[in-house]
Structure 1
């Protein structure tokens, strides 16, 4: 086998790979330094109504008190507002890596956070509450001694929960809506939640009650977070002061803060809560399928290149392919995803969009697994066919494309289908960086309704149907390939 010609094939494949995905990067990405100065990007976690949530029943826009305040401030200062959605636990990292210019997400200006970011003057002072089942009705932190207490990860309420003396356990969850599910499932005894959110929670869930905790004099209040040394802090503070003096701030508070009301009695599972949300959830199918297609294509192309490296006999290529496979199979996919999304802007200055970061992370990870599958398929093809092709003078690239790969594909088709199915299901992980796939949209509905079963069951059914369709198409292709024998 001519090793020189063998070397050209993976090189040509890599050129094709960059030719295919280079334009995607230029369309979806942009340099951080080139972003227009008149546009400021606001980071938020839209699962915290009434401060920020997704208007899933209408146009899918992010709405809430923080959004209205941000729009007013930027309007007064002459900036355009762009909103970037992500998990609450990633907001500080987004500020530090330059992905966003400021953060508004019901974030308290704590002394610990002030070490990492700068804060504006507070625009609201909230009170913490205890949410529990009506039969218990815990009223103070002392009542929670020996109990399992829940709080949102990274929130000021987490710090309050950690102050409970003798608490059996403090359970930290990413989303406030998950706390309700944990209480209803008897996994936690109570949750520490901010007052306006607690009103929404108790209004939506019968059997839950809230009790106010004493005001914390050391509480810095909810404020706008900026990167260290941001030039925008002072001008934002001026507008906040003007809003407070003019009564505009009180007007917005009255608009968004709910009043206590009797909750409608509902059963354990009541799909009527999804009324108006189903079209919003179904729009996530396109994002999920697009992401899966991009990831599968990247994984197949790069996996083929790596498999050729492994059988090339050229030691540097073999070492590279082996090391690549070891790293990507030996580290968690979620870690790879977050590293690509958050580290890329910081290391290169390139603002990689969430969907592109997800496609790259899943494609690169998939390539590590597919490289072994494709290599096994190639090696399973009868060696006599290669020898015959070489004896007939067939060029190596043509031999691989026309003779070897088609037969290898037939051998590994079931494994390829399994990988695509895995990509469809694992795509739910991309919701952590704000990609609005099926799972992210289900989280939005859960945050709006404070009910989990209904949205999750609907999304599970959609994933199941997608997998059935993919499996059926793969069987049809397999039968067609067999008829071609």
Structure 2
């Protein structure tokens, strides 16, 4: 028995070492805000963080090449070109932009971000490049024209935006904070909120796409400081950016960019669809862009499943090894990863890794690690139960016949355990596939993230979400069908 325990530990440590070597083979990246300080590249690089769901400031050109475009992007490109930098754009949720600056994932942020005293405590701002007005959006049949009329009403805002902070000052108003502008439209059209506070240019786009809505401007105040570029504290880029901005203001280039993105557009094509009618014509040109997310979703699911299966198997061997330290480690690991939310684990790995280990971990790798490590905690119990369910006589017979331990586990124990746990494994893989939509919060452009971009561009939710739901359903059907085929084959081999 003691020899068997030693063999279990030996096999486990070999697999574990292989896993660590595989993960460690990735070339460490350079922190975003240090990219321009590297000595080897001939072209210096700057990484711009933005939330591409806020047209016309920034959005994804889903009908073309999927690039992030908009007024902020054009201004950033002009400044980068003037200063001799190569610009790289990183998309993420708006409420994660400040965290990205603080963890050096990006060098600066342009995302229609207003200057506030609260934000000044965390970041440094450039001079203002555009001043917008807060606007009330409501249904035409129940319009609100003044801020005073919102007392006692449920008002929607985008979490972390200047409009969110302004709405908090409306006396008597109740707030509902959402991550996406498209979510505000959905809540307004469904009657779950009475009104929404958004920025004027976005309000115009919303009205064009939703003719049942109306808008009313909020009077300007002295606190309206306009939009500016945000930088990490102690940065040396602010003066250079301000100099380039002032030059663009003087030669008219800044105004030309603003005019380009705020010119009048024909609203006829958007008025063809009322909210109550599901019209898939609004997805014309967007479907190929959404379908490209299938590859990322399947790749992420495969990597997470393999990591979860390998590490889960190691943990299960630790638990049955009979060696106390290994048992305690595996039990503690399972308790931690099953006892904390997966979303918290995902954001911790993505944002904390550059700060703690000086490694700019890619978003997809962070997602694969988080989901794989989390899945391993659940699979370890499933695999352990499958191994323990194999009749003890099988082990005793193999030992009596002199079968080596490793061959016994691979040829005798694991195949029988697999028959017992196959349904549970399939359920876990299906859960990974569906939960992959969570990785959109760190900017991975899988199916759900791409649907969010389409929603932001069309200001309609039903059509894109129904298409993505159908794609997920088909993928799950294919996965379960393959699992049934494997199960029937295993039964025939008995």
The two structures have a TM-score, normalised by structure 2, of 0.96
- Residue aligning to 1:12: 14
- Residue aligning to 2:342: 333
DSSP 3-state at the match of 1:460: helix
| TM-fit CA distance, 1:22 | 3.4
Distance 1:190 1:32 in 2: 41
Q: Runs (4+) of structure 1 moved beyond 3 Å?
A: 19-23, 33-37, 260-263
| TM-fit CA distance, 1:318 | 0.1
| TM-fit CA distance, 1:225 | 0.2
Q: Indicate if the aligned counterparts of 1:200 and 1:258 stay in contact, CA closer than 8 A.
A: no
Q: Which moved more, 1:67-76 or 1:158-167?
A: 158-167
- Residue aligning to 1:454: 463
Number of equivalent positions? 481
- Residue aligning to 1:149: 155
Q: Which moved more, 1:445-454 or 1:138-147?
A: 138-147
- Residue aligning to 2:35: 35
- Residue aligning to 1:404: 413
Does 2:150 correspond to 1:172?
no
Distance 2:320 2:356 in 1: 34
Q: Indicate if the aligned counterparts of 1:32 and 1:350 stay in contact, CA closer than 8 A.
A: yes
- Residue aligning to 1:189: 194
Distance 1:87 1:60 in 2: 17
Q: Indicate if the aligned counterparts of 1:206 and 1:265 stay in contact, CA closer than 8 A.
A: no
CA deviation vs aligned residue, 1:142-179 (integer Å, no higher than 9, x gap): 01111100000000000111111111x20000011110
Distance 2:98 2:36 in 1: 22
- Residue aligning to 1:414: 423
Aligned pairs (5 A) from 1:261-276: 261=267, 264-267=271-274, 268-276=277-285
- Residue aligning to 2:104: 98
Q: Indicate if the aligned counterparts of 1:307 and 1:371 stay in contact, CA closer than 8 A.
A: yes
Does 2:346 correspond to 1:346?
no
- Residue aligning to 2:220: 215
- Residue aligning to 2:23: 21
Distance 2:399 2:440 in 1: 49
Q: Indicate if the aligned counterparts of 1:295 and 1:359 stay in contact, CA closer than 8 A.
A: yes
Does 2:141 correspond to 1:135?
yes
Distance 2:35 2:57 in 1: 27
Q: CA RMSD in A?
A: 1.2
Distance 2:221 2:460 in 1: 30
CA deviation vs aligned residue, 1:334-382 (integer Å, no higher than 9, x gap): 0000000001111111110000000000000000000000000000111
Does 2:236 correspond to 1:227?
no
Equivalent residue in structure 2 for 1:364, among 354, 368, 373: 373
- Residue aligning to 1:86: 92
Q: Indicate if the aligned counterparts of 1:199 and 1:258 stay in contact, CA closer than 8 A.
A: no
User: Using a 3 Å threshold, how does the CA distance of structure 1 residues 200 and 157 change in structure 2: closer, same or farther?
Assistant: same
Q: Any unmatched runs of 5+ in structure 2?
A: 38-43
Equivalent residue in structure 2 for 1:381, among 379, 385, 390: 390
Distance 1:198 1:231 in 2: 35
Does 2:326 correspond to 1:317?
yes
- Residue aligning to 2:307: 298
Distance 1:94 1:308 in 2: 39
| TM-fit CA distance, 1:396 | 1.5
| TM-fit CA distance, 1:36 | 4.5
CA deviation vs aligned residue, 1:295-347 (integer Å, no higher than 9, x gap): 00000000000000000000000000000000000000000000000011111
Distance 1:391 1:83 in 2: 64
Distance 1:265 1:7 in 2: 67
Distance 2:423 2:440 in 1: 28
| TM-fit CA distance, 1:246 | 0.7
DSSP 3-state at the match of 2:111: coil
| TM-fit CA distance, 1:257 | 1.2
Does 2:124 correspond to 1:122?
no
| TM-fit CA distance, 1:258 | 4.3
Q: Indicate if the aligned counterparts of 1:199 and 1:259 stay in contact, CA closer than 8 A.
A: no
Distance 1:294 1:35 in 2: 28
Q: Indicate if the aligned counterparts of 1:374 and 1:408 stay in contact, CA closer than 8 A.
A: yes
Q: Any unmatched runs of 5+ in structure 1?
A: none
CA deviation vs aligned residue, 1:89-124 (integer Å, no higher than 9, x gap): 000000000000000000001110000000000000
| TM-fit CA distance, 1:390 | 1.6
DSSP 3-state at the match of 1:223: strand
Distance 1:255 1:224 in 2: 20
